[in-house]
Amino acid sequence: MRLPGKVIIVTGSTTGIGKAIAQACVREGAHVVIHGLEQEWGSQVVAMLGPEHAALHIEDISAEGCAERLVDLALSRFGRLDAVVNNAAAVVSSNIESTDLAFFRRVLEINSLAPFSLIKAALPHLERSRGCVLNIGSVNAYSGEPNLFAYSVSKGALMTMTRNLGDTLHRENGVRVNQINPGWVLTETEEQRKKEHGLAADWYTKVPRVYAPAGRILWPKEIAAAAIYWLADESGPISGQVVDLEQHPFIGRNPPKDQSTIPDQ
């Protein structure tokens, strides 16, 4: 086992990438705090992992005090805290015309400021355990697609925070901070989002090769496999690093529209 006895908070883990990361953590010997907005989905995840291995907290990650409540739950249930995975995010379509300040602030609150808040709340306990933070970003952080404006900016902010805190917290507190930038991942919410855009139920089997040279997009379990390395002691002193997990060479930006019939990722 690669995470024996570790206690890890995984935000946004009632579904998708976060759920896959939580599952992988428990398989590797960790206890996890499951977090999300969906009580039913969260209860199902805890039941699958076993209540002896997982605790559940349902709340908007950007709510005042949520970060502290997540940390308190980890400590009260499992007695310590070794890692935080900032995975919860609002994946929302917008461009400059459709983005107003209220919408922009909301996206930044969830995708950039809430991770900062959780890191700050967890820091004294992570320092005690010589623990780590893993931020889940996006390849869109580099520039972003035209219809993912606010989301892309928020992930760019998260990436800068990872670089900054990966240096300062490692140097001053002994806490490593790293980030994974996934590309296009076949999560439950992504399946639903594409259906809402009018695509057929099997749209993911027809992704153009320009986006998916392998003939498919990524699976959550493949992101989770990479996450375990950064959460485990085997990653050693490495901090402040951002790793892109994608199969095509477009750095966070789509090619011209005439090369694809698939809408924004």
User: Rounded distance, CA 148 to CA 96, Å?
Assistant: 10
Region for residue 138 given its phi and psi (left: phi exceeds 0; alpha: psi -120 to 50; beta: otherwise):
beta
Q: What sections of the chain are H helices per DSSP?
A: 16-27, 39-49, 66-78, 101-108, 114-129, 149-173, 188-196, 220-231
Neighbour-count burial of 109, counting CB atoms closer than 10 A to its CB (0-12 exposed, 13-18 middle, 19+ buried): middle
Answer yes or no: 211 catalytic: no
Contact (Cβ atoms closer than 8 angstroms) between residue 127 and residue 173: yes
Contacts 24+ apart (CB under 8 A), 15-19: 15/41, 15/187, 15/188, 15/189, 16/185, 16/187, 16/188, 16/189, 16/190, 16/220, 17/87, 17/136, 17/182, 17/185, 17/187, 17/220, 17/223, 17/224, 18/85, 18/87, 18/88, 18/136, 19/45, 19/220
3-state DSSP percent of the chain in helix, strand and coil, to 5? 45, 15, 40
Contact (Cβ atoms closer than 8 angstroms) between residue 180 and residue 227: yes
User: Rounded distance, CA 47 to CA 53, Å?
Assistant: 10
Q: Which of 142, 151, 211, 229 is catalytic?
A: 151
Residues designated catalytic: 151
